[in-house]
């Protein structure tokens, strides 16, 4: 497997090439003939009827060939295997083998993963866990090395990766480049540590992360060698990033949904500079909507030419990352292909990887291999003696004080910064659920430092109870949102008892939970069970008055201090625009 994957990013040896040439010339019987196909040719930009010959896992030619096995596709469309240009596997909350079992039947045959989440908890051990656990799955898992561990100096992570650490693992055959550079202020101000990480990548791809960046700062960001961005949320932002030379990754995940806003920016003249990605997809959405196939369907339904939509999910991504034999149905390319009956509906009937059928009518045909995580250390280290959620009001506050409020933006991971009056009693500031003003806290869980960040949030709608999670981008401390301190503490301590996870609590009672003992991020459970547990947590939150479609996922981004405007970490309230910690009260 390791040698096969090495050949994905390097030239094949002479013996491999000799066999392929002989098979393409018809000198040997090929392994497989996919007969009567309508090939969606992303290289020629057309659909043409032919047979497709496969040998040694690669496409070798079109037309009639003698074959050991013939599969008659009956005029169905044959597309390249779908590729996710940017994904955090950890957001699926399951291990890599379970993730593969979920997405391969939907036509996904390759992903470019940023193990930023597990790296912030476990450092290089977390990156190696993702690489090792993806060795035996029928899904090409390419890794972009996390560039920001920790993401900022304004939070406490479980690890720190410098340029030297990244260099140690850069030689792995499936490590492609440097993952999203979230520290855009560090790039713009050319800080030495950030410049050293960019230099480590050399000529390899460097992904970007520049929400709202424009003008000269955006030019400076691109000039540093960064090649892509997946954070655009408006037509104008997407157009400027294309103009500046960035590869536009159009994201449609569980929380950040930008496809509708960005599809109009794609034209026949610039489509080659655009790709599709999910970034973060929750278990329920994987089960209900699918994966990259969902984005292709949405793009086609929005009026995009179907070939362009498929190109954005295949060849465009492969070319951006420099993989010459991935992303097309043509001689010399890996035989990662998807059979589709109706392009407008774009539902995978059959999926082949390296010429082997791995899914049929939604059924995963490969073995689901488990992967031991016993070597990973516990990541729950909390100083509970220093943990409380009381918020002292400023002197002279009387019965109220003006405070900064984190306001949610529907279906986005950006937030708004607001100022509102919070009630004060006995010198302490309190939540006010009648005005949808709840408490939010972030409890440090890596070093037992006793750090607790405290603030207020609007948009959850809870009238009682609390939610807590050890999934809290990017450092993944314990984030808690609730109406009263007792339930918030009960929720946080239950997360720790599970060695990580998510929970809904009301009046001290656990209503629903999911254990995530792998770095506090992933479960050792089947995707369906994780999905059922997440659904139960969502239902429990809704019973407590929450109106968000996915409250736990939304909550997980409220500790992310690189996404505007206002966020909370274990060190306090962060004004992302100013890139500094600010006082809670004004």
378-432 pLDDT, tens digit each: 899 999 999 999 999 999 888 999 999 999 998 788 899 999 999 999 999 999 9
Q: Does the pLDDT value for residue 10 go beyond 60?
A: no
> What does the buried/exposed string (b/e) look like for 127-143 if buried means 16 or more CB atoms within 10 Å of the residue's CB?
bbbbbebbeebbbbbbb
Residue range 81-325 forms a domain whose CATH class is alpha beta
- 385: number of Cβ within 10 Å: 8
Sheet with 580-582, side-by-side order of all strands = 566-569, 572-575, 580-582
Q: Does the pLDDT value for residue 370 go beyond 70?
A: no
C-alpha span between 129 and 55 (Å, rounded): 32
Determine the average pLDDT of the residues in 27-38.
Answer: 98
Residue 12 pLDDT: 58
Q: Does the pLDDT value for residue 471 go beyond 90?
A: yes
C-alpha span between 110 and 81 (Å, rounded): 7
Determine the average pLDDT of the residues in 264-271.
Answer: 96
Residue 374 pLDDT: 60
Residue 118 pLDDT: 97
- pLDDT-based confidence at 535, cuts 50/70/90? very high
**Token representation of residue 46:** 């057309």
Residue 372 pLDDT: 58
| HEC string for 146-194 | CCCCCCCCCCCCCCCCCHHHHHHHCCCCCEEEEEEECCHHHHHCCCHHH
Give the pairing of strands 30-41 and 452-458: unpaired
Residue 23 pLDDT: 96
Q: Across the strands, what pairs with 509? A: 506
Residue 151 pLDDT: 80
pLDDT in tens, 75-91: 999 999 999 999 999 99
Instruction: Write out the residue limits of the CATH 3.20.20.140 domain(s) in the chain.
Output: 81-325
**Token representation of residue 122:** 């476990």
Residue 60 pLDDT: 98
Average pLDDT, the chain: 94
Determine the average pLDDT of the residues in 465-493.
Answer: 97
Residue 495 pLDDT: 98
Determine the average pLDDT of the residues in 536-557.
Answer: 94
Sheet with 391-392, side-by-side order of all strands = 391-392, 428-429, 415-425, 400-408, 452-458, 437-443, 478-482, 466-469, 501-506, 509-515
- pLDDT-based confidence at 369, cuts 50/70/90? low
């Amino acid at each position: 497997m390791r040698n096969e994957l090495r050949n994905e990013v390097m030239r094949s040896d002479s013996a491999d090439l000799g066999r392929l040439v002989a098979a393409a010339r018809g000198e040997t019987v090929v392994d497989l003939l996919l007969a009567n196909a309508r090939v969606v040719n992303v290289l020629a930009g057309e659909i043409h009827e032919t047979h497709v010959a496969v040998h040694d896992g690669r496409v070798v030619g079109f037309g009639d060939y003698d074959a050991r096995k013939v599969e008659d596709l009956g005029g169905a469309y044959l597309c390249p295997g779908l590729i996710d240009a940017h994904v955090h596997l950890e957001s699926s909350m399951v291990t890599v083998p379970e993730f593969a079992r979920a997405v391969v039947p939907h036509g996904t045959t390759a992903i470019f993963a940023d193990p930023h989440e597990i790296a912030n908890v476990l450092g290089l051990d977390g990156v190696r866990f993702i690489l090792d656990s993806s060795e035996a799955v029928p899904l090409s898992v390419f890794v972009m090395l996390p560039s920001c561990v920790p993401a900022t100096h304004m939070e406490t992570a479980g690890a720190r990766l410098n340029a030297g650490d990244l260099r140690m693992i850069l030689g792995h055959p499936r490590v492609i480049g440097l993952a999203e550079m979230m520290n855009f202020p560090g790039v713009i101000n050319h800080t030495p540590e950030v410049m050293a990480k960019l230099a480590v990548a050399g000529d390899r791809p460097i992904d970007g992360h520049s929400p709202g960046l424009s003008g000269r700062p955006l030019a400076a960001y691109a000039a540093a060698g960064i090649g892509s961005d997946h954070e655009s949320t408006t037509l104008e932002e997407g157009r400027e990033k294309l103009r500046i030379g960035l590869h536009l990754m159009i994201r449609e995940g569980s929380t950040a949904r930008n496809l509708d806003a960005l599809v109009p920016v794609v034209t026949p003249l610039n489509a080659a500079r655009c790709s599709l990605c999910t970034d973060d997809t929750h278990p329920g959405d994987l089960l209900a909507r699918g994966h990259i196939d969902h984005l292709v369907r949405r793009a086609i339904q929005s009026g995009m030419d179907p070939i362009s939509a498929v190109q954005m999910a295949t060849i465009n991504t492969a070319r951006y990352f420099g993989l010459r034999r991935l992303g097309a149905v043509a001689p010399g390319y890996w035989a990662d292909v998807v059979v589709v009956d109706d392009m407008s509906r774009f539902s995978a009937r059959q999926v082949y990887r390296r010429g082997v059928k791995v899914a049929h009518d939604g059924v995963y045909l490969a073995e689901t291999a488990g992967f031991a995580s016993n070597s990973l250390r516990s990541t729950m280290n909390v100083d509970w003696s220093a943990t409380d959620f009381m918020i002292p009001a400023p002197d002279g506050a009387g019965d109220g004080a003006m405070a900064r409020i984190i306001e949610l933006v529907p279906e986005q991971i950006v937030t708004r910064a607001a100022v509102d009056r919070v009630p004060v009693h006995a010198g302490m500031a309190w939540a006010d659920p009648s005005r949808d003003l709840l408490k939010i806290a972030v409890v440090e869980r890596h070093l037992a430092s006793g750090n607790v960040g405290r603030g207020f949030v609007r948009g959850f709608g809870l009238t009682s109870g609390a939610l807590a999670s050890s999934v809290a981008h990017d450092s993944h401390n314990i984030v808690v949102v609730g109406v009263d301190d007792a339930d918030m503490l009960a929720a946080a301590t239950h997360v720790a008892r599970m060695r990580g996870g998510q929970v809904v609590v009301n009046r001290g009672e656990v209503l629903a939970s999911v254990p995530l003992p792998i770095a506090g991020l992933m479960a050792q459970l089947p995707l369906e069970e994780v999905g059922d547990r997440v659904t139960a947590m969502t239902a429990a939150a809704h019973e407590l008055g929450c109106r968000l479609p996915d409250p736990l996922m939304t909550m997980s981004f409220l500790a992310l201090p690189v996404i505007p405007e206002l966020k909370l970490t274990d060190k306090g309230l962060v004004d992302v625009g100013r890139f500094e910690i600010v006082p809670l009260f004004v």
